[in-house]
A = this chain, B = another copy of it.
Amino acid sequence: MSSPVQLIPNNSLITNSPEEGRQLAVKMARLIIKATQPDASVREKLRTIYAEDAAMLIAIGQVVATEFATIAAANNYWK
């Protein structure tokens, strides 16, 4: 969980649309993994594991849903 990595692209939670907010949620989730495991070759190996594991794919969905809740609130739900 060390953090020289940039954790939030553009340093902002504000996006133009729900779709962009969702993409940001995916990126933010991924960047925490990158900060915790900075070695790209290890991450690549792990990707092969979680992309074929139903339980892990569901768990990734849970993280993205949680990040997205924050981003959606920050954008007042793009209303």
A: residues with CB less than 8 A from B are: 1, 3, 6-8, 11-14, 17-19, 22-23, 26, 28-30, 32-33, 35-37, 42, 46-47, 49-70, 72-74, 77-79
Contacts and interface: CB of A to CB of B under 8 A. Distances in A.
B46 A35 contact: no
A64 B26 contact: no
B11 A30 contact: no
Given A8-B18, A65-B70, A56 B58 contact: yes
Q: How many copies does the complex hold?
A: 6
Greatest chain B CB density within 10 A among A30, A37, A50, A54 is at A54
Given A53-B54, A62-B66, A69-B66, A23 B7 contact: yes
A4 B74 CA distance: 24
